[in-house]
Amino acid sequence: MTSEPGRLSSHRLHTGRIINLDLDEVRFPDGSTGAMEIIRHPGASAVVPFLGSAADADPHVLLIRQYRYAAGGFVYEIPAGRLDAGEAPETCARRELEEETGCTAKPITFMTSMWTTPGFTDERIHLYLAEGLTAGATRHESDEFIEMKPTPLSTALAMIERGEIQDAKTALGLLFAAGFKAGR
């Protein structure tokens, strides 16, 4: 009788500001065991912000263009950020929308959750759709260099197709919003 797959033990190798690194001893589905390096992340929320309604003929989304050191330059993204301890994903989505764009939204709707890279991290991002934005003041963190880029949804989808939007959460969020929420 083979035991269920899963973690047998875990050893913390690194505790960081954003992530932790564990070395886990794991039982695999065939009963064998092995060591796996796992990046632990508290999770995040991201929001596809529509300036008006997602149902508009060619609605505008508020993309951000943000400097990302790991990507080697500027990246087109949707607003997103890490969950604070005990924070609900929708609360995080609203907070990040306001911090990064200065905007608030009356309706904010859950779309889906995704594993970012399940081969080595437990990070999950919860994707939301926001409509009818109201402008306000941004509250960028010291390492955030952000430009706002209002963009027609059709243009954003073409940017994904051309490889100009390469951020996975942004591509999935825009495609999900276009396909399942905006009826494209």
Say if residues 151 and 60 touch (Cβ distance below 8 Å): yes
Measured distance CA(118)–CA(115) in Å, rounded: 6
Measured distance CA(148)–CA(65) in Å, rounded: 6
Question: Which of 80, 144, 155, 75 lies closest to 113 in space, CA to CA?
Answer: 80
Measured distance CA(176)–CA(154) in Å, rounded: 13
pLDDT of residue 55: 86
Domain positions in the chain:
6-40, 44-181
β strands within 28-145, DSSP E: 33-40, 44-49, 60-68, 73-77, 80-82, 104-105, 108-115, 124-130, 133-134
**pLDDT tens, position by position, for the chain (184 residues)?**
568 999 999 999 999 998 999 999 999 999 999 999 999 999 999 999 999 888 888 999 999 999 999 999 999 999 999 999 999 999 999 999 999 999 999 889 999 999 999 999 999 999 999 999 988 777 767 777 888 999 999 999 999 999 999 999 999 999 999 987 666 5
pTM value is: 0.91
Distances (CA, A) of 157 to 77, 108, 140: 13, 21, 27
pLDDT of residue 182: 63
Domain 44-181 of CATH type 3.90.79.10 = yes
Say if residues 112 and 120 touch (Cβ distance below 8 Å): no
pLDDT of residue 1: 52
**Helix/strand/coil for 33:** strand
pLDDT of residue 181: 67
Query: Which ranges constitute the DSSP H helices of the chain?
Result: 89-101, 153-161, 168-176
pLDDT of residue 183: 61
